[in-house]
Amino acid sequence: MGPITGGRLRLCFHAEGHLPVTYREGLQAALYRALPSPLGETLHDRGLVPGERPLKLFVFSRLLGLRYLPEARAFAAQGELTLYFASALGEVLSGLARGLWERGGMEVHGLFLRLLELGLEPLPTGEKAVVEALAPITAYRTEAGKTLYFNPLNREFASLLEANLNRKAEALGLPQGSLKVRPLGFHPRQKRLERYKGTWVEGWMGRYRLEGPPHLLRLALLSGLGAKNSQGFGFVREVEGC
């Protein structure tokens, strides 16, 4: 492949209506639809980075600005919403930006999100960063047909995050390296159980201190930490001033 050519978008929308608690599935589908053909179909069906486990190398945050309605078990959109989208592949980033701009937004579960603003964000440089999860980070291992999830205090958590990131680096032809992950202010309330296509996925929010080669930190910001990134898990963004 070659060097990382992608980037990170900050997308601002306006919407008035409701979304189900499982809106992540519809949001992922809307992002695929916004990509030009055949890029969207190829990315969805088999990814753009071949291998034993093909990689899609994009990640997105939750929709920020939604209000949860416990009595309806739904989210209310009442005004401006923010979504972050990142990819380590330039063609995916530019394709999505162009598609959303041409459509004026996107439709998620029947609710139209009208695009207000689209901007490319600068990324930090260096070997250290404090990041905040804007979508749950999930780390798991499958043994004897059973899925075992790990929390940030378990050594397996950081080990799985490092292995996942090095697999992405190798697929892009980048050197592998060591990534140190340390949770900051860990609390059990940061745990999230979210359903995706009928399966419950365990993930963790919170802040983390990352330390490693600059290209690995950049890759973490552009492709996500942990597993299931293209499903909307593992999006992290640096905390300004830290």
* Residue found by looking up tokens 């999930």 in the block: 138
Same structural domain for residues 35 and 63?
A: yes
The mean pLDDT value for 61-85 works out to: 96
Same structural domain for residues 117 and 143?
A: no
Confirm whether 211 is domain-assigned: yes
Confirm whether 2 is domain-assigned: no
Residue where a domain stops, chosen among 121, 146, 180: 121
The CATH code of the domain that includes 52 is: 3.30.70.1890
Condensed to tens digits (0 to 9), the pLDDT of residues 98-140 reads 999 999 999 999 999 999 999 999 999 899 999 999 999 999 9
How far apart, in whole angstroms, are the C-alpha atoms of residue 79 and residue 199?
31
Same structural domain for residues 88 and 106?
A: yes
Burial group, residue 25, by CB count within 10 angstroms (0-12, 13-18, 19+): middle
How far apart, in whole angstroms, are the C-alpha atoms of residue 141 and residue 9?
31
Q: 58 has which bridge partners?
A: 87
Condensed to tens digits (0 to 9), the pLDDT of residues 32-52 reads 999 999 898 888 887 777 666
Confirm whether 1 is domain-assigned: no
pTM: 0.95
**Number of neighbouring beta carbons within 10 Å of residue 230:** 21
Residue 52: what pLDDT?
A: 64
High-pLDDT (> 90) share of the chain, % = 82
E-strand stretches of 52-145: 58-60, 67-69, 74-87, 105-108, 111-121, 128-133, 140-143
How far apart, in whole angstroms, are the C-alpha atoms of residue 51 and residue 53?
5
How far apart, in whole angstroms, are the C-alpha atoms of residue 234 and residue 221?
9
Same structural domain for residues 171 and 99?
A: no
Condensed to tens digits (0 to 9), the pLDDT of residues 143-188 reads 888 999 999 999 999 999 999 999 999 989 999 999 999 999 999 9
Same structural domain for residues 115 and 136?
A: no
Same structural domain for residues 115 and 132?
A: no
Condensed to tens digits (0 to 9), the pLDDT of residues 213-240 reads 999 999 999 999 999 999 999 999 999 7
The helix (H) or strand (E) run that includes residue 207 is: strand 207-211
How far apart, in whole angstroms, are the C-alpha atoms of residue 63 and residue 189?
20
How far apart, in whole angstroms, are the C-alpha atoms of residue 116 and residue 105?
8
Residue where a domain stops, chosen among 72, 104, 121: 121
Same structural domain for residues 187 and 86?
A: no
**DSSP assignment of 144-186:** TTEEEE--TTSHHHHHHHHHHHHHHHHHTTPPP---EEEEES-
**Number of neighbouring beta carbons within 10 Å of residue 128:** 13
Same structural domain for residues 147 and 62?
A: no
Confirm whether 174 is domain-assigned: yes
Residue where a domain stops, chosen among 121, 136, 160: 121
Count structural domains, the chain: 2
Residue 51: what pLDDT?
A: 62
Q: What residue type is assigned to position 72 of the chain?
A: A
The CATH code of the domain that includes 166 is: 3.30.70.1900
- Which residue range is the domain that position 106 belongs to? 7-121
